[in-house]
Structure 1
Amino acid sequence: MSDDDDQPAVTAEEVRGVADLARVDLSDEEVETFTEQFEAVLADFESLDEVPEVESKPDLVNVMRADEVAEGLTQEEALENAAETEDGYFKGPRVS
């Protein structure tokens, strides 16, 4: 709710305006229901302001090993188990 208790946090006109933007037809009863629901949602968000902030250490740490340079496969070694090759490359099925 707003600081001024005389003014509602959400008005029926605002709900109708949002419904018009969304191109949704609402009955008067639906407008009243949505107005109450929107006010409740806004009150819930305002209660989050009361939660104290805490500083915490991150729970996750980097457990990855450092990169190490190693010998890779030669082109011939990489292709030796391929079903088909062509001009030193893997050959796959035609897709077009």
Structure 2
Amino acid sequence: MSLDTATVRRVASLARLRVEEAELPRLEAELNGILGWIEQLQAVDTTGVEPMAGGGAEQLRLREDRVTDGGIQQQVLANAPDRADVFFSVPKVVE
């Protein structure tokens, strides 16, 4: 697969990139080089090779979803440099 100048212009537009007309041929060559590498990788025979990460036979064990840090509001607020009643007090950043 190779890209032409019109396709490169369209991809740049979709990515919201401003590309000067003079840069299009260089960008076209770079993208075609990347696509060439991808085609080479797809041609490699990987039958019998297990994936190194994700999708393998080993799955992460999921822990039970439960609250473990509740009921310590006063301990948490003890670290606050400034507090207002039972809330953290922070400086106003929007005027």
Superposition TM-score, scaled by structure 2 size: 0.49
Task: Work out which of the two has the higher radius of gyration on C-alpha atoms and give 1 or 2.
Answer: 1
